[in-house]
Amino acid sequence: MGLTSSLRFRRRNNKTFLRIFMILVLSCIPGKTNLCSNHSVSNPTDVPPSNPSDIRSSLVSLDLEGYISFDDVHNAAKDFGNRYQLPPLAILHPRSVSDISSMMKHIVHLGSTSNLTVAARGHGHSLQGQALAHQGVVIKMESLRNPDIRIHKGKQPYVDVSGGESWINILRETLKYGLSPKSWTDYLHLTVGGTLSNAGISGQAFKYGPQINNVYQLEIVTGKGEVVTCSEKRNSELFYSVLGGLGQFGIITRARISLEPALHMVKWIRVLYSDFSVFSRDQEHLISKEKTFDYVEGFVIINRTDLLNNWRSSFRPNDSTEASKFKSDGKTLYCLEVVKYFNTEEANSMHQETGKLLSELNYIPSTLFSSEVPYIEFLDRVHIAERKLRAKGLWEVPHPWLNLLIPKSSISKFATEVFNNILTSNNNGPILIYPVNQSKWNKQTSLITPNEDIFYLVAFLPSAVPKSSGKNDLEYLLKQNQRVMNFCKTARLHVKQYLPHYETQQEWKSHFGKRWETFSQRKHAYDPLTILAPGQKIFQKTTTTQFQLSKSKSKAVLKGTTRRASVLLKPRTV
Ligand code: FAD
């Protein structure tokens, strides 16, 4: 607190000094009437500043409820992926939507003379620099605490939250009213703006669609600095552009998220398969039923021994004697993970329903394990793993993750090659695999998915252990990802990346396919100067820099030249 207030005090003093200085300078200029524009400091010829120190001063001079800092930029220079290190020039800690709008308008006013770009930053859980803005402005969305979390009960309950709010806070707050969002991610310490810019996919998505399908309304600050409220019916083009829009069209400052009544407990079940086709048939069977589990996921186990003994700390085997006879022997196994929500007083009917659903499946009978835990404990399960990894210093390591959306027609070919030939173990992190039913997903959002009703999310989530060699080494894991991608391409599996990352616009065009035209037209409409989310590397800000030619060439001329701001974006492998 002390540090923050002293920084604010220093800032205010700096601001006051700068204003007095500017007024003195500007008042000496004949004919200058408009001393100060609303959002920036004008210079004598009304040409926006292009020199870095003037740009920095112009940022300081903005009239904000929050504040700008320049000395803690290392905090916004990297992300969870831990492979890119690109410090911004400044961090904006907004207190209001108008702070964000002022910043955007100011950068628009600076125009193409400045390199400045803007990245909204949730918790920086991106993997390849998507929330970074090299030498630009990072907006720390968590500082935007307005509005507080506000819950509206009624027939169609919903919650209004700030774009920087984290999902775990929303869950804790809505549970006080017996309500909960419907669609989740596996990890809840992510922000609303961050997951809505991607999709937000977890084991409930087969039923409710991803998180981007469960939003009633958004408030957006566009790339032009305009503040717009949008929904399915109002400014719908902006609404659908932003959902899954990779931060390209505007900053989500507020979201209205749909809720449902929350039950208190979950029955959490795991069963194993040794045959992929039986496993995937059962998963698809479960997601096609109306009355089914509330959550369906799965994961792959390659070359692991003593697996069931590891589970025993949190899951009980249905039949201990049978379970102890099961030996995984390093075989590739597939684990189906399902959950049924229930209230304790309805435990009997829950047991009947789950019993019936399980009787329709073909898993290895001795491998039925289950557990009953509170709803919030289940949803916040990855946080427990996070704490353990942090304690061992294994959370802030490079994460060369790869998330793929694979059409149902390709999944068997993919599984045969990748889980049996390309990967020889998964000791360095989980591999998730589960199908979703696209007929429940809204196709108007910016999210790109395979062109089939059912597709699988396959997530390779390894951690690279620093100073290791062999299979936990970053280079090894990156090469393995590349082998997976090469196989998908040569076998023409029509796979799409989730949380996509590409280096060239050509690759982005191929990711978007027919929808590229619409995506780029929308970019032009909502962020014409390509200021937003440069770390996605979809569009590059084109800048005009002014320079004076050498006096030795006899005349001093001001000439414009264009250069690509984001050629500066060079990955650094940590
Ligand atoms: P950031 O990484 O900070 O931002 C992501 C992108 O969105 C950036 O381009 C940023 O500029 C932009 N952005 C951020 N806030 C805003 C805003 N308010 N308005 C506009 N643009 C904004 N994803 C799933 O779908 N399902 C999962 O189960 C899942 N599990 C995960 C588990 C872990 C441990 C981790 C680390 C990530 C997981 N993710 C999952 C990925 C997650 O959805 C992304 O990392 C996502 O980017 C959210 O992280 P964030 O809120 O920190 O956003």
| pLDDT tens figures, 137-151 | 999 999 997 778 999
Kindly report the pTM of this predicted structure: 0.88
81 CA distance to ligand 1 middle (Å)? 11
Q: Which numbered atom of ligand 1 lies nearest the CA of 163?
A: 18
Note the pLDDT of residue 33.
27
DSSP class of residue 313 equals: T
Instruction: Quote the CA–CA distance of 18 and 60 in Å, as a whole number.
Output: 8
Residue 223 has pLDDT above 90, yes or no: yes
Quick: pLDDT tens for 412-425.
999 999 999 999 88
Instruction: Quote the CA–CA distance of 539 and 533 in Å, as a whole number.
Output: 9
Instruction: Quote the CA–CA distance of 104 and 137 in Å, as a whole number.
Output: 10
Which residues are within 8 A (CB) of 223 and not within 5 positions of it... i.e. 6 or more apart? Answer: 104, 108, 249, 250, 526, 527, 528, 529, 530, 531, 532
Mean pLDDT of 198-224: 98
Phi, psi of 298 (to 5 degrees): -175, 165
Instruction: Quote the CA–CA distance of 452 and 213 in Å, as a whole number.
Output: 18
Note the pLDDT of residue 338.
98
Q: Is 186 in the pocket of ligand 1 (CB under 6 A)?
A: yes
122 CA distance to ligand 1 middle (Å)? 7
pLDDT > 90 fraction of the chain, expressed in percent and rounded:
75
Other Cβ atoms closer than 10 A to 329: 9
Q: Which residue has the tokens 């601001």?
A: 15
Tell me if 341 sits within 8 A of 265, measured CB to CB. Answer: yes
Would you call 125 a catalytic residue per the annotation?
A: yes
Quick: pLDDT tens for 1-36.
333 333 343 444 444 444 433 333 333 333 222 222
Residue 378 has pLDDT above 60, yes or no: yes
Instruction: Quote the CA–CA distance of 492 and 487 in Å, as a whole number.
Output: 8
Handedness of CA 353, 359, 361, 366 (dihedral sign): positive
127 CA distance to ligand 1 middle (Å)? 9
Instruction: Quote the CA–CA distance of 344 and 26 in Å, as a whole number.
Output: 72
Quick: pLDDT tens for 172-209.
999 999 999 999 999 999 999 999 999 999 999 999 99
Instruction: Quote the CA–CA distance of 321 and 513 in Å, as a whole number.
Output: 54
Of 45-59, 195-209, 327-341, 545-559, minimum mean pLDDT range: 545-559
More confident residue, 313 or 275: 275
Residue 470 has pLDDT above 90, yes or no: no
Mean pLDDT of 48-77: 90
Of 68-72, 127-131, 162-166, 324-328, minimum mean pLDDT range: 324-328
Query: 569 is written with which tokens?
Result: 């974006």
Q: Is 126 in the pocket of ligand 1 (CB under 6 A)?
A: yes
Of 103-107, 164-168, 463-467, minimum mean pLDDT range: 463-467
Confidence of residue 564 (pLDDT cuts 50, 70, 90): very low
Radius of gyration of the chain (CA): 26
361 CA distance to ligand 1 middle (Å)? 34
Quick: pLDDT tens for 492-540.
999 999 999 999 999 999 999 999 999 999 999 999 999 999 999 999 9
Note the pLDDT of residue 551.
37
Q: Is 78 in the pocket of ligand 1 (CB under 6 A)?
A: no
Q: Which among 436, 480, 443, 438 is positioned nearest to 458, based on CA atoms?
A: 436
Cis peptide bond upstream of 462, omega within 30: no
CA-closest residue to ligand 1 atom 27:
185
Mean pLDDT of 66-70: 97
Which residues are within 8 A (CB) of 69 and not within 5 positions of it... i.e. 6 or more apart? Answer: 7, 90, 91, 93
Query: 232 is written with which tokens?
Result: 């399915």
**130 burial class (0-12, 13-18, 19+ CB within 10 angstroms)?**
buried
Tell me if 7 sits within 8 A of 67, measured CB to CB. Answer: yes
Q: Is 197 in the pocket of ligand 1 (CB under 6 A)?
A: yes
Which residues are within 8 A (CB) of 45 and not within 5 positions of it... i.e. 6 or more apart? Answer: none
Confidence of residue 46 (pLDDT cuts 50, 70, 90): low
Other Cβ atoms closer than 10 A to 54: 15
Of 85-94, 264-273, 300-309, 392-401, minimum mean pLDDT range: 300-309
Confidence of residue 323 (pLDDT cuts 50, 70, 90): confident
Residue 312 has pLDDT above 80, yes or no: no
Q: Angle between the 52-60 and 2-27 helix axes, to the nearest 10 degrees?
A: 110
pLDDT > 70 fraction of the chain, expressed in percent and rounded:
86
80 CA distance to ligand 1 middle (Å)? 10
Q: Position 546: which residue type?
A: Q
Tell me if 437 sits within 8 A of 455, measured CB to CB. Answer: no
Would you call 123 a catalytic residue per the annotation?
A: no
Note the pLDDT of residue 13.
46
Q: Which among 129, 186, 242, 235 is positioned nearest to 385, based on CA atoms?
A: 186
* Mean pLDDT value across the chain: 87
Note the pLDDT of residue 544.
66
Would you call 186 a catalytic residue per the annotation?
A: yes
Confidence of residue 285 (pLDDT cuts 50, 70, 90): very high
Q: Is 252 in the pocket of ligand 1 (CB under 6 A)?
A: yes
More confident residue, 572 or 223: 223
Distance linking the first and last C-alpha atoms of the chain: 32
Mean pLDDT of 330-355: 96
Q: Is 194 in the pocket of ligand 1 (CB under 6 A)?
A: yes
Q: Is 530 in the pocket of ligand 1 (CB under 6 A)?
A: no
Instruction: Quote the CA–CA distance of 496 and 57 in Å, as a whole number.
Output: 43
